[in-house]
Amino acid sequence: MKLKKMLGIILTAALCGGMLAACGDSSSTGTANTGDSSSAEKPASTGTDLIRVGIINNDPNESGYRTANVNDLKATFTEANGYEAQFSYSLKNEEQIQAAQKFIQDEVDYLLLSAADTAGWDSVLQDAKTAGVKVILFDRTIDASEDLYEASIVSDMAKEGQTAVDWLKAQNLSDYKIIHLQGVMGSAAQKGRSGALTDTAAAEGWEIVSEQTAEWNAEKAQQIVQTAIDSNKEFNVIYAENDDMAKGAVAALDKANISHGVGKDVIVMGFDCNKWALEELKAGNWNYDGQCNPFQSSYITEIIKKLEAGEKLDQKTIIMDEKGFDAATITQEDVDKYGI
Amino acid sequence: MTAKATGKQNSFLSGLLHNQLLIPIAALLLLTIFNLIADPSFFRISLGYNSDGNPVLSGYLISIIDYGSELAILAIGMTLVTAASGGQDISVGAGIAIAGSVLLRVLCGTESRPETLQAPVFVAFIVCCIVAMIFGAFNGALVAFFKIQPMVATLILFTAGRSIAAWINNNELPIVSEKSFTYFGGYLPGIPIPTPFFIALLCFVITWAVLKFTNLGLYVQAVGINEKTSRLNGLNPELIKFAVYILLGLCVAVCGLIKVSRLSTINYSVIAKDIEMDAILAVALGGNALSGGKFNMGASILGAYVIQFLTTTLYKFDVQSDALSAYKAVVVILLVVLSAPVFREKITGLFRRLRAGKAAA
């Protein structure tokens, strides 16, 4: 009996160990790479003057947007471009803060940060300042004093929404009957993209036939649009706040034999510019896709160059250019270049 | 009123009150009446054609049996797991993500947008079943052999599952372009009723047959009610617990197939999100004790459809997005309180006293 118990305990421990190892494998390949690359790069960096950057980002598995973002940064901050980069990925604020402390101890020149949470960064950024590490925020802002960082590069979600709504307005439909599929309520993307539509609809007298949150989820969007069709609601625009939801909506339209796309009954609008979404756009099945720019590295390198040259930055908050694609004018080049 | 009649009525009433099917049926009736009063067109079903030219039935009721199917299939497995182990598996949503990812991986190979399928759907489904059952076995082993609380044991996959799913496909989102693959989540050519409903029906029939012609149901209940006595009676409780988790894995694989087929692709981070909570709720709505023991499979399945009925009703009435979950919560609280054994005993007691008072008067 005792033996059995012991065996049980040992096996549990082994299993847990195995689990941890497996988890480590799947989620932190980035960190593993980091270890290799930093140790490999160290001897090289002693001779030349590479700029040392520590990059703290969210988990690349989070979304297609994040994957594109991470790949963009990895492609830019290479030794060939004059950088020695270390990466750390986590969706948890505490782990990100620990990584930041480690980077500060490693005496990086720049700390690039996309924070998981807006709060809790004051003290570690203060440490960075004392140690002379320059901090650049990208993609997400934090609740901390502006003195603690050099610059912040963000997407303006409200502007993304406004661009899309302006495009819709320019279509000059005789009447607007819109199904509005919202993202997770309260997220920055949802607020910005919903806000633009709600304001313009009120000003222009557009009718919002149905307004529901599908929580970025294709199946939920499909159900919501299906319900709208079942209740014989008339609509001619689907304004989905991301590509997945637009895809779900289109599945419901196909089922009910409602035509959609360029020159058809229903206008389909999405956001994020996934590659497959842009292909739908090019095929004329959708009408519009708004970009949420994940390619921030060019902005970051520009700032670093300015700071290295001792120049002052004009402004702390830098808003990225974001495009909106129209099915009528999109080219294969756009699909390849901007698809994520 | 004669004494005999009173007695008969009394037993009928208490029989009804003690029947597990009462709660889901009452909830269904309540929702039906509400919809009937608010808008009778809720029950209209019309025949149309989809963009492929196939005849399809459409209407709220069709949507409900369509979208409720996955939940009903999950409810089967969840009921068995609940009854045998006295706990719930909260990793089914993540499990569906893994199953779906495996399915796509086999169908698409390493390409993200293949022109033709790399393997027949049947083979892909078998592989997906095996993988889902292995993950089920992992949960089952933790619960049965290592005596870990089911919710804690399944928390591991709940946390890691979606990352594993993303990792299986190198974090790409393959899209299946083959038309025949969409049949499982859509319509078979020429048949106007959604396929998921048939798949669910098949699962119900198999489950019914298994429970009817084997002792699985009895064994599961025996283990759930008292592990020690079931062991004394020659059962192997560990093995039975282990087995039900594997069965749940199979249900997860079937759901994965339907979900992936609906849109020809999945998004690992949001597919079947929070479905575990709905599945547990279906079991609770069916009046099954979440602490294990006796169960009523039919009630759980009905519970699953009630949940979908409620969701569709809320969508229909355009409940404000930010208030949607609050409405759902209120209904859930009502239903769960009504189905609580304590509450039902109180009500039965109240009826008895009323009747006694009347008889005395």
- Contact flag B160-A254 (C-beta cutoff 8 Å): no
CB distance A236 to A177 below 8 Å? yes
Cα(A111)–Cα(A52) distance, rounded to whole angstroms?
A: 9
For chain B, what percent of residues have pLDDT higher than 90? 53
Q: Give pLDDT, residue B285.
A: 86
Q: Closest Cα of chain A to B3: distance in Å?
A: 52
First-to-final CA distance of chain A: 58
Q: What residue numbers bound the domain in which B192 lies?
A: 17-360
B230 — pLDDT class (breaks 50, 70, 90): very high
3 state SS for chain A: CHHHHHHHHHHHHHHHHHHHHHHHHHHCHHHHHHHHHHHHHHHHHHHCCCEEEEEEECCHHHCHHHHHHHHHHHHHCCCCCCEEEEEEECCCHHHHHHHHHHHHHCCCCEEEECCCCCCCCHHHHHHHHHCCCEEEEECCCCCCCHHHCCEEEECCHHHHHHHHHHHHHHCCCCCCEEEEEECCCCCHHHHHHHHHHHHHHHHHCCEEEEEEECCCCHHHHHHHHHHHHHCCCCCCEEEECCHHHHHHHHHHHHHCCCCECCCCCEEEEEECCCHHHHHHHHCCCCCEEECCCCCCHHHHHHHHHHHHCCCCCCCCEEECCCCEEECCCCCHHHHHHHCC
Task: Give residue for tokens 């919710």.
Answer: B151
Q: What are phi and psi of B152, to 5 degrees?
A: -75, -40
Rounded (5°) CA angle A215-A218-A222:
105
Q: Give pLDDT, residue A23.
A: 45
Q: Give pLDDT, residue A29.
A: 37
Question: Could you tell me which CATH number the domain at A157-292+325-338 has?
Answer: 3.40.50.2300
Q: Give pLDDT, residue B44.
A: 87
- Contact flag B316-A230 (C-beta cutoff 8 Å): yes
Sign of CA dihedral A240, A242, A248, A253: positive
Report the CATH number at residue B129.
Answer: 1.10.3470
Cα B118 to the chain's mean position, in Å?
31
Q: Give pLDDT, residue A12.
A: 61
Nearest C-alpha neighbor of A295 from the set A329, A265, A272, A324: A272
B26 — pLDDT class (breaks 50, 70, 90): confident
Domain A22-149 has CATH 3.40.50.2300: yes
Lowest mean pLDDT: which of A89-103, B34-48, B132-146, B345-359?
A: B345-359
Measure Cα distances from A33 to A27, A73, A100, A116, B167 in Å: 12, 14, 17, 21, 16
For B113, name the nearest residue in chain A, comparing CA atoms only: A276
Q: Which of residues 2-21 of A touch B (CB under 8 A)?
A: 8, 11-12, 15, 19
From the number of C-beta atoms within 10 Å of its C-beta (0-12, 13-18, 19+), residue A194 rates as buried
Q: Give pLDDT, residue B334.
A: 80
Q: Give pLDDT, residue B14.
A: 60
For B46, name the nearest residue in chain A, comparing CA atoms only: A230
What's the domain count of chain B?
1
Same fold, A22-149 and A157-292+325-338: yes
Q: Would an 8 Å CB–CB cutoff place B48 in contact with chain A?
A: yes
Q: Give pLDDT, residue A177.
A: 95
- Is position B151 within any domain? yes
Q: Give pLDDT, residue A9.
A: 64
CB nearest A227 (choices: B48, B63, B142)? B63
B16 — pLDDT class (breaks 50, 70, 90): low
Q: Which helix (H) or strand (E) holds B301?
A: helix B297-316
One-letter amino acid at B308 equals Q
Cα(B326)–Cα(B83) distance, rounded to whole angstroms?
A: 29
Q: Give pLDDT, residue A118.
A: 81
One-letter amino acid at B54 equals N
Cα(B81)–Cα(B74) distance, rounded to whole angstroms?
A: 11
CB distance B83 to B292 below 8 Å? yes
What number is the average pLDDT over the span B215-240? 93
Q: Pick out chain A residues at pLDDT < 70.
A: 1-48, 62
From the number of C-beta atoms within 10 Å of its C-beta (0-12, 13-18, 19+), residue B58 rates as buried
B56: chain A residues, CB-CB within 8 Å: 255-256
B344 — pLDDT class (breaks 50, 70, 90): confident
Q: Give pLDDT, residue B288.
A: 87
- Specify the pTM: 0.81
A224: chain B residues, CB-CB within 8 Å: 315
What number is the average pLDDT over the span B124-147? 96
A229: chain B residues, CB-CB within 8 Å: 58
Residues β-bridged to residue A55: A87, A112
Nearest C-alpha neighbor of A249 from the set A196, A212, A274, A278: A212
Q: Closest Cα of chain B to A8: distance in Å?
A: 7
Q: Which of residues 129-158 of B touch A (CB under 8 A)?
A: 142, 145-146, 156
For chain B, what percent of residues have pLDDT higher than 70? 94
DSSP assignments along B180-249, one per residue: GGGGGTS--TT--S-HHHHHHHHHHHHHHHHHHHSSHHHHHHHHHH-HHHHHHTT--HHHHHHHHHHHHH
Q: Give pLDDT, residue B151.
A: 92
- Contact flag B269-A229 (C-beta cutoff 8 Å): no
Q: Give pLDDT, residue B359.
A: 72
Nearest C-alpha neighbor of A326 from the set A191, A155, A163, A156: A163
For B271, name the nearest residue in chain A, comparing CA atoms only: A217
Domain boundaries, chain A: 22-149, 157-292+325-338
- Contact flag B267-A62 (C-beta cutoff 8 Å): no
b/e B283-310 (16+ beta carbons within 10 angstroms → b): bbbbbbbeebbebbbbbbbbbbbbbbbb
Which of A59, A220, A230 is most worth mutating to test chain B (most B CB atoms within 10 A of its CB)? A230
Q: What are phi and psi of B290, to 5 degrees?
A: -70, -10
Cα(A22)–Cα(B159) distance, rounded to whole angstroms?
A: 13
Cα(A108)–Cα(A280) distance, rounded to whole angstroms?
A: 43
